[in-house]
Amino acid sequence: MNKLPVLTKNNEFQRVYSKGRYSASAFLVIYVLPNRLDKTRIGITTSKKVGNAVKRNRMRRLIRENLRILSDRLIKGIDIVVVARKAEETASLETIGKELRYLLHRLELLDREIE
Q: What are phi and psi of 99, to 5 degrees?
A: -65, -40
CATH number of this structure's domain 10-106: 3.30.230.10
User: For every one of its 115 residues, what pLDDT tens digit does the chain have, with 9 covering 90 and above?
Assistant: 567 888 989 999 999 999 999 999 888 999 999 998 888 999 999 988 888 999 899 999 999 999 999 888 889 899 999 999 876 677 788 889 999 999 999 998 887 655 4
| pTM for the whole structure | 0.88
Task: Encode pLDDT of 76-91 as tens digits.
Answer: 899 999 999 876 677 7
Bridge-based pairing state of the strands 28-34 and 41-46: unpaired
Closest of 74, 99, 83 to residue 5, by C-alpha: 74
Bridge-based pairing state of the strands 41-46 and 21-24: unpaired
Region of residue 83 (left: phi > 0; alpha: psi -120 to 50; beta: else): beta
Which residue ranges make up each domain of the chain? 10-106
Are 67 and 82 in contact, with CB atoms under 8 Å apart?
yes
Bridge-based pairing state of the strands 41-46 and 78-84: parallel
